[in-house]
């Protein structure tokens, strides 16, 4: 299976369990690795036979900016399902970063990584 990766998609969302997170929002960063067979697209040099990563990027940003959820696990699942809605995508790895998570000690990042497939 071939891989198309999008790294560092940024969007502001209002996800979290605390009222301040819901009210003020924060930046979330998403990394994706889409698994698909790119041979048909390469053979015919045809965008319609692969995944349009520009559209996927816009859809992921829409999910992050959309309906708030408590958990980044839920957000990652919603993103994965959106990616799998594209016919050619057989598998997706989603990493959601929450670099401004409300943690009381110094830290660089909080992430959740999930892998989902059609199988």
Instruction: Out of 10, 20, 49, 98, pick the active-site residue.
Output: 98
- For 28, counting Cβ atoms within 10 Å of its Cβ (0-12 exposed, 13-18 middle, 19+ buried), the class is buried
Determine the Cα–Cα distance for residues 77 and 115; give it in Å rounded to an integer.
9
Active site residue 49: no
* Nearby residues of 5 by Cβ (< 8 Å), 6 or more positions away: 31, 32, 33, 34
List helix spans (H) across the chain: 19-24, 39-44, 53-65, 72-84
The catalytic residues are 98
């Amino acid at each position: 299976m071939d891989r198309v990766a999008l790294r560092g998609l940024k969007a502001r969302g209002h996800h979290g369990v605390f009222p301040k997170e819901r009210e003020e929002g924060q930046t979330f960063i998403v990394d994706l690795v889409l698994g698909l067979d790119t041979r048909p697209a390469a053979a015919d040099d045809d965008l319609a036979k692969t995944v349009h990563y520009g559209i996927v990027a816009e859809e992921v940003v829409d999910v992050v900016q959309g309906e708030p959820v408590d958990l980044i696990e839920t957000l990652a699942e919603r993103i994965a399902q959106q990616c799998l809605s594209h016919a050619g995508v057989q598998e997706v790895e989603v990493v959601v970063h929450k670099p401004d998570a409300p943690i009381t000690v110094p830290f660089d990042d909080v992430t959740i990584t999930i892998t989902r497939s059609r199988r």
